[in-house]
Every structure is written in C-alpha cells, then in structure tokens.
Amino acid sequence: MSMNNQLPNKQLVAKSFGQAAANYDDVAVLQRQTADELLDRLSLVTLQPKCILDLGAGTGRNLDLLAKRYPKSQLIALDIAPAMLQQARHNYQQSEGLKRWLPNNKPRYFAGDAEHLPLADNSVDLVFANLTLQWCDPRQSFVEIQRVLRPDGLLMFTTLGPDTLHELRTAWAAVDDYPHINMFYDMHDIGEAMMAAGLAEPVLDTDRYTLTYNNAMALMKDLKILGARNVNTGRRQGLTGKKTFKAVEQAYQQFRTDALLPATYEVVYGHAWGGQVTAQQMADDGSIHIPISQIQRRQL
C-alpha cells in the first residue's frame, strides 16, 4: 500500500486525542514502557541540549522526566490536540519535585502538527517523539524535524510498525472489508523518509510488546480511551452494531492463549542526527536520493 493511501485524517486525529486527554494516563501502559526505553537510550548519549522539543507531548508525562534529566534545558511541548496540552500544563504544575528542580524554567506549550512545526530553523537540540509519528506523513514530518534540528542535534523517536494489532485486524477482516485498524509504515519506508529528509546516521530497530485482555471489547475500549480510533480515510461511516462486535469477538478467539487475548504492538525505535544535505545527494529536481542499504539496523 502506498503512503498516500495510508495517510490519516488529521482532523480526526486531533479530535480523537482531544477527547482522550482526561483519561489517557489511566491506560497508557505501552506509552510509558516505550518512553522509558527511549530515556534509557538517551543515557548512552553525551548531550547537553539547550532546547528540547517533546513532539506529541500528550499529557506531559515525559516533560517531567526530560526536565529532571536536563534541568538546564528549555522544554517545548507540542501536541496536535489543545486539550492534551492543557492536561500537560496541569500535570506539570502539580509536580512538586519539578518546582524544586526548575523553579524558573517552565515549558513552553504549542498546539501544532509534526508536519508543520511552528518553530524556527535550527532551533532545537533534541527532538523526543514517543509514539507520535505514526499519525503523520513520515516524509513531511522528518523534513520538518530536520529543519528545526541544529546540525548536531538529536532525534529520538518511537513509532508503530505495520504488524501492530494484527490479531484485531484479522478479526475485523473476518467480518467485513472496511479498514478498522490504522495502517502504519514499515521500517523500510521510515528509513527512506529519514534519509530523504537529510537526517544523518539514522539507526532503526524494532521490538514487540504484547498486552493481554479478557476479551476484545476490553481492548477496543482501551483504544478508544487512548484516542487511537480508526482515522483511516476509507473507514466505515456510521455506528457499528452489537451483532458485528460479537462476530469480531468470536473471530478474535483463535488467538486466545492462557485464557487471555493478546494484543501485539510492533514498535520501531529510531534515532538520527541533524544533518546537512550535500550537493552530491541532490538531484536536478531538488529531490534527495540515498539508497536504503545505507540505513544501519542497530541499537545505540
């Protein structure tokens, strides 16, 4: 499937996450795990960023952790959903520990899209993006990240791969032909987009996480609370009846193990440095051509 056919409806993304803000942290198990892994990887890098962009800051949980790790840095929280930023601001203000760590250095909050960052060129030393870029066109978002990163700045991110929620996708496919699960890009497409944007020394690897549920409806309820609703442009319009949900539940049973239903997430981890595009990489039409074979697949 081409990237153009996979692009999500951004208005739906913003609305969905805005509605999820109040209860998001109650079920954001995977988001916490991947954020902690990203922070562990940051500990392997000698970095003293003056400015950090938490891209897709959500409810601000990672703002606290980034502030404690880099107490002298200016934090910028950006999210497509203003309601998420309101929650992030509230949560940050309630953090007593941060009042001690950073009495005079409060984050700046911006509502915006990763594909159109409201920031100046070469203004950020670290872009931290945990489970955000899967809602974007990677070609455009990486171009924007490269634009705002300083040449020696670092991008650290996670996103979701195409095998995410394959069990639920299979169950829905047994019921109808509409796309019910969001489509995500594979590591090859992500790597090509990073290289094309001019990011330097990109590194990608994948990991799998499995959450378990008593039934499929419990999983779908969590997805709704997380704001991870179906934002495919070709999704089915209108309400889905109880009979259909029952059929999905029945189809999901083929994956039941140890009395529980698994929900698999394929997580892509990546990092790269802000780079300068060389003349040798530029084609006559202004496009950039770098073979995918140059992408390293190793951890920090």
Which pLDDT value is given to residue 237?
46
pTM for the whole structure: 0.82
Residue 190 CA to residue 129 CA, distance in Å, equals 14
Closest among 184, 252, 176 to 218, alpha carbons compared? 252
More confident residue, 120 or 183: 120
Instruction: Report helix, strand and coil shares of the chain as percent, to nearest 5.
Output: 40, 25, 35
DSSP state of 264: E
Structural domain span for residue 15: 3-162+184-208+267-294
Each residue of 205-217: b (16+ CB within 10 Å) or e?
eeeeeebebeebe
Q: What is the mean pLDDT of residues 285-298?
A: 40
Q: How many domains, the chain?
A: 1
Residue 94 CA to residue 60 CA, distance in Å, equals 11
Does residue 239 lie within any of the structural domains? Answer: no
Going from the C-alpha of 190 to that of each of 134, 154, 203, 253, 271, the distances in angstroms are 10, 17, 11, 33, 11
Does residue 261 lie within any of the structural domains? Answer: no
Q: Give me the residue label for tokens 């094309």.
A: 196
Residue 58 sits in a domain whose CATH number is 3.40.50.150
Residue 230 CA to residue 179 CA, distance in Å, equals 8
Does residue 258 lie within any of the structural domains? Answer: no
Q: How confident is the model at residue 283 (pLDDT cuts 50, 70, 90)?
A: very low
Residue 228 CA to residue 231 CA, distance in Å, equals 8
Q: What is the mean pLDDT of residues 244-258?
A: 93
Question: Residues 204, 268: contact at Cβ < 8 Å?
Answer: yes
Among 11-20, 83-92, 259-268, name the most confident range: 259-268
Does residue 248 lie within any of the structural domains? Answer: no
The helix (H) or strand (E) run that includes residue 40 is helix 29-42
Q: What is the mean pLDDT of residues 100-119?
A: 83
Does residue 286 lie within any of the structural domains? Answer: yes
